[in-house]
Amino acid sequence: MSDTVLPVTGAAPYDVVVGTDLPGRLPQVLGGGVQRVAVIFSDDLGELVRPVLESLATAYDVTVLPIPDGERAKAATVVASCWEALGEAGFTRSDAIVTFGGGATTDVGGFVAATWLRGVRVVHVPTTLLGMVDAAVGGKTGINTRSGKNLVGSFHEPAGVLCDLAHLRSLPRAELVAGLGEVVKCGFIADPRILDLVEAADPAGLTADSAVLRELVERAIRVKIDVVVSDLKETGGSGGHPGREVLNYGHTMAHAIERAEGYTVRHGEAVAMGCVYVAELAARAGTLAPEVVARHHTAFAHVGLPTTYSGASFEELHAAMKVDKKARGSQLRFVVLTDLAVPAVLSGPSEVDLRSAYEVLATGRAVSR
């Protein structure tokens, strides 16, 4: 099957390419005038990244920058070590960075690119489903602090994104399933056809070489492209649409769960639980019909994602949600649905509703309202 090229328009246009065996496209995407390329990659992908390093070494001076795996990479100390390495290698504004790894790697590598000399070119090569459909597209970069997730960051659009589905062949099954959390989320917020495909699929058949998985990847990427093109820096949508903030559907609770678990829970798993929570919250606010709420439980569960969480108390999660980026002052704000693919913002829900929705999340059983 031929590669699919999904253009991202705007002030700094670029392409997202979906296909297999894509390293040969790197020189074209990097563009002219580049002498030095730093490859920032997860240190557990040493063998997988080798073809990329060998391909680049024929045309560029390559600096190899392994970073810790997963959320451990998203720390100021890691970013600082990358800055020092770029300085020692003599990186100039015309040089470039390539990231290779999951969403945490693209977040960190993108932030390094955004901040070195106030911005150098970056190309993302995501190796996880989560990275392909979420982190690598849209220009958001960031690192964590003790106070919360992604609280320090910048917007820095890539020069291109290469989603090589061949990399998913070596991805642990649990990681692939976790990536489906963001895919199913896209079905709820913008493209219900995604839900139809997921619900009709045999979950075991959703593999790297599956035509259905490829369609799901491309549809989820299109959802994200459509959103970020209209609202790159999350300044707001029009006609009541939350704009780019819609991509954070379920993320307020998801980030609270991740923090409570010391970032040991997979992001896509947390998103699934967060979406179930916010659907229950919307039901209590009177904006979402019971059948759509129920579909949240069943769609995520169908592919093997968790839909309950009781590992932390309501009080602990409530406190974590208060430092979420979407909060305004002391008021919590949630992206909710009023119907499939009809998002809105719910500001300042009552603690009674917040707690009641948590009780469903914790037990999996509806409570009286």
pLDDT tens, residue by residue, 316-330: 999 999 987 666 667
pLDDT of 219 > 70? The answer is yes
Model confidence band, residue 366 (pLDDT cutoffs 50, 70, 90)? low
Write down the pLDDT at residue 233: 85
Q: How much of the chain is helix, strand and coil, in % rounded to 5?
A: 50, 20, 30
Contact 292, 279 (CB under 8 A): yes
In whole angstroms, give the CA distance from residue 362 to residue 314.
9
368, pLDDT greater than 50 = no
Q: What is the mean predicted confidence (pLDDT) over 179-199? A: 98
Binding-site positions for Zn(2+): 182, 251, 267
Q: Enumerate the known binding-site residues.
A: 69-74, 103-107, 127-128, 140, 149, 182, 251, 267
As annotated, the binding site for NAD(+) includes: 69-74, 103-107, 127-128, 140, 149
Tokens of 99: 């990231």
pLDDT at 163 over 70: yes
Within 10 angstroms of residue 145's Cβ, the number of other Cβ atoms is 14
Residue 146 burial (CB < 10 Å; 0-12/13-18/19+)?
A: exposed
Domains along the chain with CATH numbers: 4-170 (3.40.50.1970), 173-363 (1.20.1090.10)
pLDDT digits (tens, 9 = 90+) for 71-104: 999 999 999 999 999 999 999 999 999 999 999 9
Whether this prediction's pTM lies above 0.75 is answered by yes
- Comparing C-alpha atoms, which of 315, 99, 275, 253 is closest to residue 185? 275
Name residue 6's beta-bridge partners.
16
367 pLDDT higher than 70? no
Q: Residue 141, SS3? A: strand
